Structure 1
């Protein structure tokens, strides 16, 4: 447990971008770290999950991460990098769509490559082997925004969501990486979140859910407060969806009702949680 705490502490303390124009303010960094570490962490002694943040050259600000990754029996709340407003691209999610499209060709290749690269040095490269071996489970587009989910053995998962139309030097990315020690097989109609909650990118809140599904699950959707249906991408035993706003900010405590469709055409409402 002590080693895990130290590793999480090290990751959190490394969030300031090395190329920022002025040296980090140690007083601010310490205050931010204390705020992150005191904001409802839930750490299981049997979890070895480590979590990442995506960095960028513009000056960043850190805020508590409401987006939580977890295994089925373990959860860790970690730091989350907040990107500044972007110049160009789609910083206000204006092009977002409730139904996803599929990334193909060079767009898919670039998104996958960017995701792998952004995670390569997390935890001193502790997941480099898993990243290299992981397959692409999901590569979707919602307007200007693309999401990639990489999955591997023993529950390994890496996720990335970014504005594909922003200039490369102003591109912010929100995502996660981890591998719980206690992954169990899901029932055929089971669902389990590994990422669930609300974070911030480009000074705007974003709600994200991703995770695993059983072999009989063919579709999953979430109905927003305004009754719009958000369709998840479901592929290769994984699911992912996201929406602008902070609608899922209490999801880790309350769970999220989702509509699940099965291979025989039937469906049911399930509660998505860890």
Structure 2
């Protein structure tokens, strides 16, 4: 995100149009897709375009505020520069360049680092709200919800697209709370479709199988995990599949525990879907 914003700030300074970056990225993908096939995923451009749209709305306002401050006072303080960065995403060196271009000066530069440290402390506190994973216990209710969460993850990837990755989860007897990568609010139709898929898989009484295997083998089987998570050379993989035809519904890196077959899970229901951070959504769901 920082790189995209820096590019956009400098592009604006050079007078380039707002959709210049997307065109550049497409050309970059064309050049490097043979070496890096994953670049061809639509999620790359979706993420970049979403970030650009969010940033364009604030960039001009931030630049205007910097210029207004220099016109009025002849300088920008380090503390003010940190506000421009936190509020508008404008890096310190860009603020400095704008100020110098107007024959202004940066005062009390050391205050920039002080304010940024305060901001980072607040961010670390807030990030505690994004769950990194974990089961409250291993009771029957929690285990059933744990397996339902795997089914929900598979359904989300079918309904919304393969740009969906788990960012964290927290499961208690009452509900599962699941964070995932997606930039838009889910529609009622999408939520209903996810529920329908999960409940259809539950009704089919699919088999849940645990295997321990080398990490590379798991990757070859297209097992998925938590986005950005580091895994050991040997991993535990849970597969949900139809024993009648071998259809794989879900295959994930996971330590368990899970039910042995989905028919015991119960009726799945999404209780709430909301934003938790930029590009991250959260679902609360339950089974009965």
With structure 2 as the length reference, what TM-score do the two structures score?
Answer: 0.26
Which has the higher Rg, Structure 1 or Structure 2? 2
Highest RCO, 1 vs 2 (Cα 8 Å, sep ≥ 6): 1
- Which is richer in helix? 2
- Which is richer in strand? 1
With structure 1 as the length reference, what TM-score do the two structures score?
Answer: 0.27
